[in-house]
């Protein structure tokens, strides 16, 4: 059991709970070894003894631990201690892309493309490590306070051991690729499809396909053509629309073949948005509409209808837990919404039967068998019924209403368990496991301890329909319900957290210089106090600074795309982008200047100019001296009048002068723009010696023949600064 203040792994001190999901809880913690805040994801206690869940938790850790990239929520550590399984991750302060879209209704084209570029680069890093995410959606993309876009939740990602992996888990149905919806194979191009749908939502504020059921939506992904984003937002450039279309092709072979290829087109669209440069294969070659097979239809319906009981418990629990989440300032992960999930089952198919499968023959056989069975059944039923007087022969066709056939769907029944007097956490798990949905109401009580179930809307032993809602009345203790801390939350998050505890919410508004517009400034009564269920809690919602100004973020040291994303997140726009020299070599290729100082307040929508560093200014040098002949120290045999090739070289390999002469000195030079401060003069010539005769001491004479010697001399040179 994880408690506030405990230390796990001999280094991570648990500080507060900041989120919860279906399988795990997320805590803010302090890493005492490296003295930094971290997020610790802990497998819930009720699932820690289940081998399947432990395996799934470890798979998530193994998939994510091998990834290190600025656009991915990094995993620092993985461990287990006394039955507590945990993952230590980067703590990211920010907002999910889903909430960001909901807040703004839709994003501008530049903002959407900029975010898509960063997401693509993060996913590309995962793909390069043979990891497929398989659940790309706005809920799994975080925009940090600094404007950095990060991909999170590799919970259903698996390391690919080959080019493709069998898709045993389907991501959220609104973003799932056709091959995932069919229960087929998924690879890197499945992530590209999901990113295309995400781009569609960023640009239009809606998903391309909707329906009353998950099955209906999945079928649309398989059969229906992608609607045009420009039907909803006419100002979307043609290049961006074509990028979305190419990402969302039904056939994986017709999509972008890599994230790198997609990033290239996204960057080009920022420079030439109205240029039609994206090549999308015409779908008419294989037919504009592809009909789904009966087997695929049956599989999809089966996937949606039949779920493992424990998996159902997780997803139902997730829905309740998300509403109860008390701390969203630090966004680590946002779990899948239950209505958007299609859980996939394993199917064992005989390969030989697959090869010999004839759908027409099978359908004909099935129809004939059904007709025969119905006829035989009707005859037997009529004969038996007539014998006992249940049926009367009506020759004139005046049938009674009681003889009309009626069909009614029969739901599975479950027996309600005993819950009174038990802890609410245990009761929730038990109800979810048998297919019932708990709804909780808190009430003060002197008879029951806090957290104990006092009554239920259905008595133990009663048979009810599977999926029925069970209202549980839970003791809040004699002192009332503890008021959760909602300050800093969004309005929707705060209201949900308070309503979950049984409080009535009264909302007021006011300006605040530091609290983001739409977030909660204050609450009354204060967090941590106790109040009876039904008490009115007043919250004050920020309208932003009274002067309607926004704070300029720190863009220094950021890339151009990242800087643009940060500006858009802050409510500003990217102005003129220029290039300049900067003495700090580490800033080369990054922002080295912004037109408004960091932390200053300007009007929303203000254009902020930036400069990208070309690196330090390159110093230049000059040579203005004359060149003298080789000295005796350099060559005692040199004789004036010898033909010499003279070359002046810089140490970077640049040739500055080359000439031949017999007369020295060579007159004064004026060579400028030299890029290094040292060089050398190279002398190349031949020393010739004429034949001669030498008389030795003993009087004999020795003839010395003529000779020649190739000579090369290097003289170092120091150039003067210009």
Q: What share of the chain is helix, strand, coil (3-state, %, to 5)?
A: 30, 25, 45
Tokens of 586: 């580490």
Tokens of 562: 């990242």
Tokens 């656009």, located at residue: 71
Token pair 């939740």 in the structure block, residue: 153
Query: What is the C-alpha separation between 275 and 240, in angstroms, rounded?
Result: 10
Contact 416, 461 (CB under 8 A): yes
CB 604 within 8 A of CB 548: yes
Q: Could you tell me whether strands 453-456 and 469-475 are parallel, antiparallel, or unpaired per DSSP bridges?
A: antiparallel
Alpha-carbon gap, residue 160 to 256, rounded angstroms: 19
* Pairwise CA distance, residues 454 & 445, whole Å: 9
| d(C-alpha 320, C-alpha 335), whole Å | 12
Rounded (10°) CA dihedral 636, 640, 642, 644: 80
DSSP run (H or E) holding 610: strand 607-613
Number of CB atoms found within 10 A of residue 474's CB: 23
Could you identify the residue written with the tokens 């194979």?
A: 185
Residue 572's alpha-carbon distances to 558, 567, 575, 607, in angstroms, are 16, 5, 9, 6
How far from 592 is each of 555, 565, 566, 578, 583, CA to CA, in Å? 8, 17, 15, 10, 10
Say how far apart CA 46 and CA 677 lie, in whole Å.
72
Residue in 271, 259, 277 with CA at minimum distance from that of residue 118: 259
Report which secondary-structure segment, H or E, holds 301.
helix 294-305
Burial (CB count <10 Å: 0-12, 13-18, 19+), residue 69: middle
Specify which residues 166 forms β-bridges with: 185
Q: Which of 561, 584, 583 is nearest to 574 (CA)?
A: 561
Whole-angstrom Cα distance, residue 132 to residue 160?
A: 7
Asked if 16 contacts 27 with a C-beta cutoff of 8 angstroms, the reply is yes
The angle at the Cα of 306, spanning 300 to 309, to the nearest 5 degrees, equals 145
- Give dist(CA 287, CA 605) in Å, integer: 46
Inter-CA distances, 274 with 270, 630, 688, Å: 9, 66, 74
As a whole number of angstroms, the distance between CA 43 and CA 30 comes to 19
Q: How many residues does the chain have?
A: 722
**Residues in contact with 704: Cβ distance below 8 Å, sequence separation at least 6, in sequence order:** 691, 692, 693, 694
Choose, from 135, 153, 296, 635, the residue flagged as catalytic: 135
Contacts of 423 (CB under 8 A, 6+ apart): 451, 452, 453
Q: In 3-state terms, what secondary structure has residue 316?
A: helix
Could you give the CA distance from residue 554 to residue 14 in angstroms, rounded to a whole number?
A: 31
How many whole angstroms from its chain centre is CA 371?
A: 53
Ramachandran bin of 401, using left for φ above 0, alpha for ψ from -120 to 50, beta for the remaining angles: alpha
E strand or H helix that includes residue 171: none
Q: Which of 293, 303, 139, 284 is nearest to 213 (CA)?
A: 303
Burial annotation 514-548 (CB, 10 A radius, 16+ → b, else e): ebeeebbbbbeeeeeebbebebebebbbbebbeee
Is 135 annotated as catalytic?
A: yes
Query: Which amino acids are annotated catalytic?
Result: 135
């Amino acid at each position: 059991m994880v408690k506030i203040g405990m230390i796990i792994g001999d280094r991570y001190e648990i500080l507060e709970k900041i989120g919860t999901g279906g399988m795990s809880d997320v805590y803010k913690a302090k890493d005492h070894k490296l003295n930094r805040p971290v997020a610790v994801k802990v497998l819930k206690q009720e699932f820690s003894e289940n081998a399947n869940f432990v395996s799934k938790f470890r798979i998530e850790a193994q998939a994510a631990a091998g990834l290190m990239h600025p656009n991915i929520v990094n995993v620092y550590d993985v461990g287990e201690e006394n039955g507590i399984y945990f993952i230590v991750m980067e703590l990211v302060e920010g907002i999910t892309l889903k909430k960001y879209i909901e807040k703004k209704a839709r994003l501008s084209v530049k903002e959407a493309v900029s975010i898509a570029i960063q997401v693509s680069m993060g996913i590309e890093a995962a793909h390069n490590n043979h990891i497929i995410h398989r659940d790309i959606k706005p809920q799994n993309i975080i925009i940090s306070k600094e404007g950095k876009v990060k991909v999170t939740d590799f919970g259903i990602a698996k390391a690919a051991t080959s080019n493709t992996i069998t898709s045993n888990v389907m991501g959220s149905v609104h973003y799932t690729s056709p091959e995932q919806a069919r229960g087929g194979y998924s690879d890197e191009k499945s992530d590209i499809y999901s990113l295309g749908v995400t781009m569609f939502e960023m640009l239009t504020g809606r998903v391309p396909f909707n329906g009353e059921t998950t099955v209906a939506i999945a079928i649309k992904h398989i059969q229906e053509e992608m609607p045009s984003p420009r039907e909803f937002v006419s100002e979307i450039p043609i290049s961006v629309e074509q990028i979305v279309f190419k990402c969302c092709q039904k056939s994986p072979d017709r999509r972008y073949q890599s994230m790198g290829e997609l990033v290239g087109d996204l960057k080009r669209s920022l420079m030439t948005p109205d240029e039609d440069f994206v090549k999308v294969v015409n779908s008419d070659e294989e037919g504009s509409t592809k009909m789904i097979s009966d087997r695929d239809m049956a599989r999809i319906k089966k996937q949606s209808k039949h779920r493992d009981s424990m998996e159902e418990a997780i997803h139902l629990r997730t829905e309740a837990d998300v509403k109860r989440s008390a701390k969203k300032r630090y966004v680590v992960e946002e779990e899948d919404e239950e209505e958007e999930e299609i859980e996939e089952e394993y199917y064992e198919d005989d390969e030989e039967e697959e090869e010999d499968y004839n759908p027409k023959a099978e359908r004909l056989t099935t129809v004939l068998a059904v007709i025969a069975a119905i006829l035989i059944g009707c005859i037997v039923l009529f004969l038996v019924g007539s014998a006992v007087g249940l049926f009367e022969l009506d020759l004139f066709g005046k049938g009674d209403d009681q003889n009309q056939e009626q069909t009614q769907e029969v739901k599975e029944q479950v027996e309600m368990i005993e819950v009174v007097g038990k802890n609410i956490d245990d009761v929730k798990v038990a109800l979810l496991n048998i297919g019932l949905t708990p709804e909780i109401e808190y009430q003060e009580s002197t008879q029951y301890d806090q957290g104990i179930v006092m009554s239920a809307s259905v008595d133990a032993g009663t048979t009810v329909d599977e999926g029925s809602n069970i209202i549980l009345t839970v003791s809040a203790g004699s002192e009332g319900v503890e008021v959760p801390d909602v300050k800093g939350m969004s309005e929707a998050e705060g209201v949900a957290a308070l309503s979950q505890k049984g409080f009535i919410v009264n909302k007021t508004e006011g300006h605040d210089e530091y609290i983001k517009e739409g977030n909660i400034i204050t609450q009354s009564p204060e967090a941590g106090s106790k109040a009876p269920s039904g008490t009115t809690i007043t919250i004050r919602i920020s309208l932003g600074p009274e002067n309607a100004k926004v704070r300029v973020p720190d863009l220094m040291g950021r890339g151009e795309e990242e800087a643009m994303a940060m500006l858009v997140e802050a409510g500003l726009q990217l102005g003129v982008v220029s290039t300049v020299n900067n003495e700090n070599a580490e800033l080369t290729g990054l922002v080295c200047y912004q037109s408004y100082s960091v932390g200053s307040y300007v009007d929303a929508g203000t254009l902020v100019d930036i400069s990208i560093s070309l690196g330090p200014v390159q110093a230049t040098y000059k040579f203005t001296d004359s060149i003298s002949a080789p000295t005796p120290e350099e060559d005692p045999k040199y004789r004036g009048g010898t033909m010499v090739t003279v070359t002046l070289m810089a140490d970077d390999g640049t040739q500055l002068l080359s000439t031949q002469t017999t007369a020295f000195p060579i007159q004064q030079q004026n060579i400028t723009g030299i890029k290094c401060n040292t060089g050398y003069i190279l002398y190349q010539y031949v020393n010739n010696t004429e034949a001669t005769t030498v008389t030795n001491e003993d009087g004999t004479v020795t003839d010395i023949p003529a000779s020649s010697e190739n000579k090369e001399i290097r003289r170092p040179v120091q150039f003067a600064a210009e």
